[in-house]
Structure 1
């Protein structure tokens, strides 16, 4: 399973703006710090504001803040919405000649659900650890160096 760029950048933005500070974050700052184009950052922030994950304010002193309730959202729920029903395989477009006798799609769909179920064990707040005014992203899952 590979996250699309929209999901990847959206998760980065959520984690970045989760760090509390007095002033709201700006699109320009997010784009620069996360190395995303301003247009792409604006599109993602707009989408997440419509989901009520972010609070946006226009005008002088405006910007982007995290809705505190978003920290309690399950990661699987967030990723499902961001991925927008992105399927691992598409059997109908173009039509696959094997689709009627193939069991692969069902297995892959089950694996995708297990992926989301695994993410649902965590909330956004679990992956954010403030460190002396800066942030580090620390996963509750131990990583293995190969």
Structure 2
């Protein structure tokens, strides 16, 4: 897929755990990407994510987590499906597998609002961050 994930890259995203776990943190500030503009008219406005969410994705990109890949094809593989759905899979994932997951959701958000919110609401994002924290500890 690309270069391996460094200890610094692991730390860069694991640093968001306390931010995202804060009692007053709200990942998205609206529950629909639509705004009603008339009795039967709607406008697509997208989700309004907390600024920390954008900072997270910027940190992920800057630290090398988001790699060019055929993420759509990978999304259909047994590996991808297991990482998303099988209990305990993310907790055993390699940094490269975490990178593939983050890349998938980063790119998917560009094609349709709500991919980041789905990642958050499923609990998968926090499991990825906790796994990055565990892996960071192994790098020290």
On whether the aligned pair clears a TM of 0.5, the verdict is no
Greater RCO (Cα-Cα under 8 Å, separation 6 or more) = 2
Q: TM-score, normalised by structure 2?
A: 0.31
| Greater per-residue helix proportion | 2
**Structure number with larger C-alpha Rg:** 1
| Greater per-residue strand proportion | 1
